[in-house]
């Protein structure tokens, strides 16, 4: 058998989306937490903690979208019209929060506006991403290589639930990031928030996980039939493990542990969704192989990706390394 | 307001609106990134503080413009799917990998080093910092290369076949990337970005020369900008001419519309300088024309025959009036830029480059000219490709998503409101930053020996970062 290019690409795209979710997740989370930190000085530090890296984090979203167009054009052209409203809302949210990084320092009188843009934009983007996830999980009707539903089909109680789940999940990532990167009262408050959002995140994961199998018969089968049912045991156990590390890290004042444990939670949640989805690209009818571009497209981009993604990871790590350690409250070029 | 419009027209308006906003920022940031790299290189080489001061001044402006470019660009990459899903499904196998390479080779590079460039000088030291600045500039050029390969392939498709599902499938990547119009479009666009930036920098320098605020810095940037104008403007005109000849070969209908040739001219076509295109009657009213010149320019022969739009079925013609005008606006600005360049050269020779108020006023006036020319050029290119999205292969009406008109209308209204608010505010902040050359970011330091002294004790690795909260540019 030849190399299964569509499968490899599905794995790469999944990796890009996961990288996006955990990386932009924490900087969106910092934005979501803005309203809880009314003091200007705290907000300056919070923003400076993510300012050097947010653009790189968001580039994974462009890779996820652009990559989908390149290697699964059919999936791209079905999913985007189906999720039209949440995608547009996400883009608008990202505009507001993205420009706030610069605008906020350019005006005294208008600063409150860009504080709101940063917080509101981050919340809108996170919530829309959650809704998009929910709408994808609940399935998209396809006829003749095109989306066959109406333009508000994405709106269901389930997708609203996933919207809130992502919102609290990102808030957890943001607060654990702040524990790691800041000091003093700001870090104390982040601990307080992290302790609460981690319970909320676990609850949200539980609700969504219990709900999912009842949306599509395939998911039910996947989770309760041998051999895939092993995952139904393993994943929750690992989730509990991460959760314990998270709580003990927050309580025990180990600064990096909560963030890493929260990343673990996200990876597990993502793996859970992946297990439900496989082998579909657009549940419940379009598989990875239906959606794939011809092999000539897949192999052309794969050569570059195998070579470039490791390089990207190296200089991304370098960029994080340059800005390692606690944020110095007096620093920043602003 | 939108009842009479169908989803296709709304989606076209939306694409044109968002991409037109987007291109304004790259046109500036491609040029400015290179300018920053040059400034930092000059600083490292000559150790003259004036270059570092200019670097810091333009760096802040760059950060604001770049941020706007990023957020408007992300909208673009999703817009292909939301509004043009049939196009995406069919053309994705060919253009998708090119855009994938743009992300992998350019966007990550820019984003990865941008943080270091903006915030990292005192953490990594001057040499590595220069590397970061260079990488950002290099990234913008790589980005332009890939995206223009994509756009050029849509203009002059090559190297592809079709499969049963109706998708374009790649057969020869070399031919796809180096499609017939790509080298011309890339050259012309990169030069356009450099010219645009040169005229912005020149306008800011000239404005401060007129106000006499910080003579040394404004003189340096004005002089650098005017060198760019005098060198790049003529090259751009030659590149544009070559681009036009290439278009005549591959998209003759577009050239007919640009030239306003409704009729065929069997023995030498006139060059129509100005006139009012009358689409209903298919002629140019009040035309001011020079006989046979068009044949001379396009065919290098006074009497060469040139076909006109009368040889093309009506439903395959692009809208003539728009292209006719946008082309003239671009070319007019191109010659005006050349004029400023020559004028500055003359003043330079006479030794009045720093003191000629009229030259400075003209340069201020020309500050936004590059943006207008870039938009006019893209409108010529894109509207001239109609009614196709992939020239000769896929019609625009067959590219559209199955999304209801009200959804497109609602999102269009949202984009219009948000873009004007957000990018309007950004433009305001940029203009204010430009105005604050002398007093901010170093209110207590003036040009001259005092400033130099203040910096020597700070040490080179700290330059631009030692000002703490006094540095905040409010
Ligand atoms: C990668 C491809 C690509 C690139 C780089 C551009 N365009 Fe484009 N453009 C399209 C791909 C496209 C398209 C998807 O093919 C559209 C959408 C509808 C259409 O007919 O073509 C289009 C339409 C379109 C229209 C509407 C034409 C009409 O409907 O009559 C305008 C005015 C522009 N574009 C302007 C621009 C500008 C200012 C660009 C500078 C960045 C630009 N385009 C780059
Ligand atoms: C219509 C097609 C286009 C699409 C889909 C598109 C897409 C994008 C995206 C997604 C970004 C943000 C990348 C990031 O996260 O850093 C971006 C930025 C950028 N784009 Fe475009 N773009 C288009 C047209 C162009 C053109 C025609 C050029 C240049 C000739 C260009 C040059 C750039 C550059 C240099 C950037 C970096 C950010 C900046 O300079 O402000 N783009 N583009
Ligand atoms: C006077 C000299 C100029 C000539 C003869 C010229 C010619 C052309 C032609 C023929 C096209 C259309 C090509 C096609 O679609 O096939 C074009 C496009 C364009 N022009 Fe110009 N141009 C000139 C000056 C300028 C200037 C000064 C700028 C900007 C500063 C500029 C920016 C552009 C841009 C951005 C495009 C669209 C991208 C492209 O197709 O290259 N042009 N030009």
DSSP-based three-state secondary structure for B465: coil
Q: How many domains does chain B have?
A: 1
Domain encompassing residue B81? 7-264+307-435
In a domain, B472, yes or no: no
Q: For residue range A2-13, list pLDDT tens digits in order.
A: 678 888 888 888
In a domain, B137, yes or no: yes
Residue B440 confidence class, pLDDT cut points 50, 70, 90: very low
Percent of residues in chain A assigned helix, strand, coil, to nearest 5:
75, 5, 20
d(CA B405, CA B403): 7
* Residue A328 clears pLDDT 80, i.e. is over it: no
Which uninterrupted H or E stretch holds B252? helix B252-259
In a domain, B159, yes or no: yes
Q: Give the pLDDT confidence score for residue A285 in this predicted structure.
A: 81
In a domain, B455, yes or no: no
Q: For residue range B290-312, list pLDDT tens digits in order.
A: 878 888 888 887 778 888 887 88
d(CA B361, CA B372): 19
Residue B40 confidence class, pLDDT cut points 50, 70, 90: very high
Q: Give the pLDDT confidence score for residue A28 in this predicted structure.
A: 93
Q: Quick one: what percent of chain B has pLDDT higher than 90?
A: 35
d(CA B396, CA B399): 5
Q: Does A15 touch chain B (CB under 8 A)?
A: no
Q: For residue range A151-193, list pLDDT tens digits in order.
A: 788 888 889 999 999 999 999 999 999 998 888 888 888 889 9
Q: Distance, in angstroms, between A240 CA and closest chain B CA?
A: 35
* Residue B88 clears pLDDT 90, i.e. is over it: no
Q: Does B133 touch chain A (CB under 8 A)?
A: no
* Residue B319 clears pLDDT 50, i.e. is over it: yes
Q: How far is the CA of B138 from the centre of ligand 2 (A)?
A: 14
Q: Would the CB of B189 count as within 6 Å of ligand 2?
A: yes
Q: Distance, in angstroms, between B98 CA and closest chain A CA?
A: 8
* Range in A285-294, B169-178, B218-227 the model is least confident about: A285-294
Ordered by start, the domain boundaries in chain A are 5-323
Window 22-81 of A: residues touching B by CB (8 A cutoff) are: 51-53, 55-56, 58-59, 61-63, 65-71, 73-74, 76-81
Which of B61, B83, B143, when mutated, tests ligand 2's pocket best, judged by the most ligand atoms within 8 Å of its CB? Answer: B143
* Residue B386 clears pLDDT 60, i.e. is over it: yes
The protein residue with its alpha carbon nearest to ligand 3, atom 6, reads B240
What contacts 24+ positions apart, CB below 8 Å, involve B462-471?
Answer: B462/B122, B463/B49, B463/B52, B463/B121, B464/A333, B464/B52, B464/B55, B464/B56, B464/B121, B465/A333, B465/B121, B465/B122, B467/B441, B467/B442, B468/A330, B469/A330, B470/B443, B470/B444, B471/A333, B471/A334, B471/B441, B471/B442
Residue A232 confidence class, pLDDT cut points 50, 70, 90: confident
Q: If you average pLDDT over residues A240-246, what whole number do you get?
A: 89
Query: In which region does residue B417 sit, left (phi positive, over 0), alpha (psi from -120 to 50) or beta (all else)?
Result: alpha
The protein residue with its alpha carbon nearest to ligand 3, atom 40, reads B185
Contact A50, A91 (CB under 8 A): no
Contact B152, B189 (CB under 8 A): no
- Most B CBs within 10 A among A45, A62, A145, A146, hence the mutation to make, goes to A62
Q: If you average pLDDT over residues B421-450, what whole number do you get?
A: 67
Residue B406 confidence class, pLDDT cut points 50, 70, 90: confident
What contacts 24+ positions apart, CB below 8 Å, involve B405-410?
Answer: B405/B2, B405/B5, B405/B6, B405/B7, B405/B10, B406/A151, B407/A84, B407/A85, B407/A151, B408/B7, B408/B10, B408/B11, B408/B14, B408/B83, B409/B2, B409/B5, B409/B10
Q: Give the pLDDT confidence score for residue B339 in this predicted structure.
A: 94
ipTM: 0.81
d(CA B308, CA B300): 18
In a domain, B470, yes or no: no
Q: Give the pLDDT confidence score for residue A175 in this predicted structure.
A: 93
Q: Quick one: what percent of chain B has pLDDT higher than 70?
A: 91
Residue B5 confidence class, pLDDT cut points 50, 70, 90: low
Q: For residue range B217-228, list pLDDT tens digits in order.
A: 888 899 999 999
| Structure tokens belonging to residue A263 | 């990343």
* Range in A274-278, B410-414, B466-470 the model is least confident about: B466-470
Task: State CA A184 to chain mean position distance.
Answer: 28
CA atoms within 13 A on the CB side of B236: 29
Q: If you average pLDDT over residues B136-143, what whole number do you get?
A: 94
Q: How far is the CA of B69 from the centre of ligand 2 (A)?
A: 7
The candidate with the shortest Cα–Cα distance to B101, out of B163, B44, B149, B39, is B149
Task: State CA A145 to chain mean position distance.
Answer: 28
Phi first, then psi, for residue B421 (nearest 5°) are -65, -55
Bridge partners (DSSP) of residue B285 are B276
Supply the mean pLDDT for chain A. Answer: 86
In a domain, B52, yes or no: yes
CA atoms within 13 A on the CB side of A250: 26
Q: Give the pLDDT confidence score for residue A331 in this predicted structure.
A: 63
Residue B465 confidence class, pLDDT cut points 50, 70, 90: very low
* Residue B195 clears pLDDT 80, i.e. is over it: yes
| Structure tokens belonging to residue B24 | 């304004």
| Structure tokens belonging to residue B147 | 């995206």
- Asked if B93's CB is within 8 angstroms of A294's CB, the reply is yes
Bridge partners (DSSP) of residue A85 are none
Query: Which atom of ligand 1 is closest in space to residue B319's alpha carbon?
Result: 30
Q: Give the pLDDT confidence score for residue B456 in this predicted structure.
A: 35
Q: Higher-confidence residue: A266 or B304?
A: A266
Q: What is the dihedral of CA A153, A157, A161, A163, to 10 degrees?
A: 30
DSSP-based three-state secondary structure for B401: coil
Q: How far is the CA of B33 from the centre of ligand 3 (A)?
A: 22
Q: Does A13 touch chain B (CB under 8 A)?
A: no
Query: Which atom of ligand 3 is closest in space to residue B337's alpha carbon?
Result: 27
d(CA B241, CA A18): 48
Residue A64 confidence class, pLDDT cut points 50, 70, 90: confident
């Amino acid at each position: 058998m030849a190399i299964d290019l569509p499968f490899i690409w599905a794995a790469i795209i999944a990796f890009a989306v996961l990288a996006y979710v955990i990386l932009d997740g924490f900087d969106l989370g910092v934005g979501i937490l803005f309203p809880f930190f009314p003091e200007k000085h705290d907000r300056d530090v919070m923003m400076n903690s993510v300012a050097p890296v947010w653009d790189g984090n968001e580039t994974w979203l462009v890779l996820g979208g652009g990559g989908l167009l390149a290697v699964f054009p059919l999936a791209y052209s079905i999913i985007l019209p189906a999720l039209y409203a949440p995608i547009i809302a996400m883009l608008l949210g990202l505009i507001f929060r993205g420009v706030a990084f610069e605008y906020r320092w350019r005006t005294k009188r208008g600063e409150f506006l860009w504080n709101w843009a940063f917080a509101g934009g981050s919340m809108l983007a996170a919530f829309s991403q959650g809704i998009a996830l929910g709408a994808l999980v609940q399935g998209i009707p396809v006829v003749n290589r095109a989306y066959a539903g109406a333009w508000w089909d994405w709106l269901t109680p389930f997708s609203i639930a996933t919207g809130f789940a992502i919102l609290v999940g990102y808030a957890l990532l943001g607060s654990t990031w702040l524990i790691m990167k800041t000091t003093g009262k700001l870090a104390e408050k982040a601990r307080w928030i992290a302790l609460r959002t981690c319970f909320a995140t676990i609850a949200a994961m539980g609700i969504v996980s219990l709900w999912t199998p009842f949306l599509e018969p395939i998911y039910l089968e996947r989770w309760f039939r041998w051999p895939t049912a092993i995952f139904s045991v393993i994943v929750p156990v690992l989730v509990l493990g991460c959760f314990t590390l998270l709580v003990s890290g927050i309580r025990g004042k180990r600064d990096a542990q909560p963030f890493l444990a929260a990343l673990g939670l996200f990876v597990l949640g993502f793996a859970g969704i992946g297990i439900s989805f496989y082998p579909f690209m657009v549940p419940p009818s379009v598989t990875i192989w239906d959606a794939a571009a011809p092999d000539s497209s897949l192999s052309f981009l794969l050569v570059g990706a195998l070579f470039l993604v490791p390089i990207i990871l190296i200089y991304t790590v370098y960029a994080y390394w340059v800005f390692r350690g606690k944020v110095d409250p007096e620093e920043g070029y602003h | 307001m939108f009842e009479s419009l169908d989803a296709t027209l709304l989606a076209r308006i939306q694409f044109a609106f968002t991409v037109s906003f987007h291109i304004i920022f790259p046109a500036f940031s491609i040029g400015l990134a290179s300018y920053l790299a040059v400034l930092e290189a000059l600083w490292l080489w000559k150790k003259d503080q004036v270059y570092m001061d200019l670097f810091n001044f333009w760096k802040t402006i760059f950060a604001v413009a770049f941020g706007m470019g990023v957020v408007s660009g992300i909208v673009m990459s999703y817009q292909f799917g939301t509004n043009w899903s049939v196009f995406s499904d069919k053309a994705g196998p060919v253009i998708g990998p090119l855009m994938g390479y743009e992300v992998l080779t350019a966007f990550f590079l820019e984003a990865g080093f941008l943080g270091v460039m903006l915030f990292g000088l005192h953490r990594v030291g001057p040499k590595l910092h220069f590397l970061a600045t260079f990488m950002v500039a290099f990234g913008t050029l790589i980005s332009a290369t890939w995206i223009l390969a994509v756009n050029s392939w849509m203009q002059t498709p090559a190297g592809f076949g079709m499969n049963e599902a109706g998708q374009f499938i790649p057969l020869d990547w070399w031919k796809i990337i180096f499609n017939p119009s790509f080298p011309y479009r890339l050259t012309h666009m990169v030069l356009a970005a450099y010219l645009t930036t040169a005229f912005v920098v020149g306008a800011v320098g000239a404005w401060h020369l007129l106000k006499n605020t910080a003579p040394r810095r404004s003189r340096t940037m004005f002089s650098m900008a005017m060198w760019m104008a005098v060198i790049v403007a003529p090259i751009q005109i030659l590149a544009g001419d070559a681009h036009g000849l290439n278009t005549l070969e591959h998209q003759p209908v577009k050239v007919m519309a640009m030239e306003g040739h409704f009729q065929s001219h069997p023995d030498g076509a006139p060059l129509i300088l100005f006139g009012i295109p009358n689409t209903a009657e298919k002629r140019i009213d009040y035309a001011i024309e020079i006989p046979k010149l068009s044949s001379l320019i396009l065919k290098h022969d006074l009497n060469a025959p040139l076909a006109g739009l009368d040889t093309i079925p009506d439903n395959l013609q692009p809208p003539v009036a728009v292209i006719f005008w946008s082309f003239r606006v671009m070319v007019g600005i191109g010659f005006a830029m050349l004029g400023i360049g020559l004028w500055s050269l003359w003043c330079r020779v006479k030794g009045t480059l720093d003191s000629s108020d009229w030259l400075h006023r003209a340069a201020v006036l020309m500050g936004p000219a590059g943006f207008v020319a870039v938009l006019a050029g893209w409108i010529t290119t894109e509207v001239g490709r109609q009614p196709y999205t992939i020239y000769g292969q896929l019609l625009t009406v067959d590219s559209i998503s199955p999304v209801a008109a009200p959804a497109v209308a609602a999102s269009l209204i949202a984009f219009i409101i948000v873009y004007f608010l957000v990018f309007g505010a950004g433009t305001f902040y940029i203009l204010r930053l430009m105005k604050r050359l002398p007093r901010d970011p170093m209110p207590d330091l003036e040009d001259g020996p005092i400033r130099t002294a203040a910096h020597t004790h700070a040490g080179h690795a700290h330059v631009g970062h030692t000002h703490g909260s006094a540095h905040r540019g409010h």
